[in-house]
Amino acid sequence: MSDFLISAVSVVFVLGFMILIHEFGHFAVAKWLGVRVEQFAIGFGKRLVGFKRGETDYRINALPLGGYVKMSGENPMEATSDDPAEFMNHPRWHRFLIAIAGPAMNILLAITLLTIVYMVHYETVAYLTQPAVIRGIKKDSPAAKAGLLPGDRIAKLDDLENPTWEELKPKEWLSPNQVLAVTVQRGDKLIRTTVTPVPVTANQVGSAGWYPEAPVVIGSLERDSPAKKAGLQEGDRIVALNGQPLYSIEAMIESLQDSKDQPVDLSVDRAGQTLQFHLQPVFASTEDPKERRWRLGFQSKEVTQVSQLPFSQALALSLEQNRKNSLLLVELAKRIAQHRVSLKAVSGPIGIAQEAGYAAQQKGWTPLMELSSGISLNLGIFNLLPIPILDGGVILLLFIESLMRRDISLRVKERVYQAAFVFLVLFAAVVLFNDLVKTIPGLAERLP
């Protein structure tokens, strides 16, 4: 099956399931509270297939770009009656519960999926939990200009004290063109300076140009690439390049750019046996369509540790991870609104499809399940943003009405909803455009 078909099938399955869960939350609470539901729909536009049971038309529509639950009397611009089954005739706390039920279901699903993953296949990247000790610095990078050196331990970055690499990376990524105060420990001295991460890759995420020590292990190999032709295999660990010890994929990429078209010699550890390979780099594209560089044609993979957690530990870790990710999403939204992070950092349907296709091609079902957890959390948090039309906007208007102790006028609501609709259409158009001009999201420098 082609990569395109795998991506298409995967994204339809993942997003379809996420939307179904979200709309079911609205539907179930509305039914429970006695609100008449006229339609339960996946997609928009013309009805393709479906069935009617009781008062509800269950349907799949032509445009698979979301879904909705249509409740009687829900639209404040439509004529209303005294029918107690209409949405607007229910108390505000009923309407609040119906509005929040969709995002709540997505967040609950994210927690559940990640708990299951951790119980079956809890995988951690070895270096991420280690203190942020710099092993390499990219030439002419912000870190190099700040005078940092290999061996420095980052004692403080902005408001992060003694960070691990896992804590440091999001701060770095979310700070392109932002001045960050940094304190490093060098021997028995503390050195204070600043770094300004530069935007890199199609996603325009920040990079300071410092790297941890992480073994270079071959993941997937590209067809007809120098690495493939030379006989390198997935799982091989590259221990030396041209006789020099290799401590990170970033160091390898930089060395290849320096040597350009000169052949390179690799020392490779394969199941305890040391093998030698002679390769001719090629000038080729990366995942970033704007970047071409000297490459060997493989994707590195990180060294991980795998275990299985009992339910209580898996649930606790899932709750903590989803809490961290939620705060990160809110921070991302805040920085985009402040124009401190590019909107290119956001992935739309094409980017999600590419990620889903990549996850579907990995061994086992846990990568796709873990991605589904992340997408579900994103969907839940996005719908809680205080934008009219979205669930968060409905909740905001209900809160304002509660403070006013009266309903907002229909004329004002109509203008608010019209403005929100235009905003969301423009936002979707920009995100889709960004998707069209970039490839799979992620740091392009992970591709040697």
Residues 108 and 18 in one domain: yes
Of 432 and 254, more confident: 254
298 within domain boundaries: no
Model pLDDT, residue 447: 44
**Are 58 and 52 spatial neighbours (Cβ–Cβ below 8 Å)?**
yes
Whether residue 256 is found in the same domain as residue 205: no
Same domain, 193 and 227: no
Say if 66 falls within a structural domain. no
Q: Please tell me whether residues 107 and 141 are part of one structural domain.
A: no
User: 145 is in which domain, residue-wise?
Assistant: 128-211
Question: Residue 233 falls within a domain, yes or no?
Answer: yes
Where residue 142 sits, what CATH number does that domain have? 2.30.42.10
| Residue 41 falls inside a structural domain | no
Would 64 be classed as within a structural domain?
no
| Cβ atoms of 171 and 180 closer than 8 Å | yes
Q: What is the pLDDT of residues 282-320, one digit of tens each?
A: 998 776 656 788 999 998 888 888 889 999 999 999 999
Q: How far apart are CA 121 and CA 366, in angstroms?
A: 7
For 151-197, write each residue's pLDDT tens digit: 999 999 999 999 999 999 999 999 999 999 999 999 999 999 999 99
**pLDDT for the residue 31:** 94
pLDDT band at 73 (very low <50, low <70, confident <90, very high): confident
Compute the distance between CA of residue 237 and CA of residue 218 in angstroms, rounded to an integer. Answer: 6
Q: Characterize the bridge pairing of strands 244-245 and 273-279.
A: unpaired
Average pLDDT estimate for 17-25 = 91
Q: What is the 3-state secondary structure (H, E, C) of 169-229?
A: HHHHHCCCCCCEEEEEEECCEEEEEEECCEEECCCCEEECCEECCCCEEEEEECCCCHHHH
- In sequence order, the β-bridge partners of residue 342 are none
Please state the domain count of the chain. Answer: 3
In the chain, the N- to C-terminal Cα span, in Å, equals 26
Q: Of the candidates 157, 183, 211, which is a domain's last residue?
A: 211
23 is catalytic: yes
Out of 211, 245, 278, a domain closes at: 211
26-36: pLDDT as tens digits: 999 999 999 99
- Mean pLDDT over all residues of the chain? 86
Indicate the pLDDT class of residue 411, thresholds 50, 70 and 90.
confident
pLDDT at residue 445 in the model: 43
Burial of residue 51 (number of CB atoms within 10 Å: 0-12, 13-18, 19+): exposed
Token pair of 379 as six digits: 């969907």
Residue 249, token pair as written in the block: 């994929």
- State whether 14 and 101 are in the same domain: yes
Residue 62 within any structural domain of the chain: no
Q: How far apart are CA 59 and CA 56, in angstroms?
A: 9
The domain boundary residue, chosen from 274, 289, 304: 289
Q: H/E/C letters for each residue in 3-69?
A: HHHHHHHHHHHHHHHHHHHHHHHHHHHHHHCCCCEEEEEEEEEEEEEEEEECCEEEEEEEEEEEEEE
Give one word for 161, left, alpha or beta, with left for phi > 0 and alpha for psi -120 to 50: beta
State the angle between helix axes of 366-383 and 311-337 in degrees (0 to 180), rounded to the nearest 10: 50
Note whether 240 and 192 are same-domain residues. Answer: no
341 belongs to a structural domain: no
Is 157 among the domain residues? yes
pTM for the whole structure? 0.82
